[in-house]
Amino acid sequence: MQLHEHNINDIVVIDDMAFVYFDVRYGGFLPDGGQLEVKGEGELEFVYSDDTWWISFLRFPGIVI
């Protein structure tokens, strides 16, 4: 998979949490020689703990971790 485009739409910080909202477009080649392209809205959620910002949630179009 290769990242083609990434645009940050908004960053919100509330106390010890932060949210980053973005648009993304990525794609790659399939084993049969075809291509796959995915685009849409994504979100990163961070939590501040132990003097460090940790990623607590990640959502890309087609992927949720």
CATH topology of domain 2-64: Nuclear Transport Factor 2; Chain: A, (3.10.450)
Model confidence, pTM: 0.75
Q: Where are the domains of the chain?
A: 2-64
Q: What is the mean pLDDT of each run of 10 residues along the chain (65 residues)?
A: 91 96 92 90 94 92 66
pLDDT of residue 65: 52
Q: Report in angstroms the alpha-carbon separations of 39 from 21, 25, 35, 52.
A: 14, 4, 13, 30
Type of residue numbered 19 = F
User: By three-state DSSP, how is residue 12 classified?
Assistant: strand
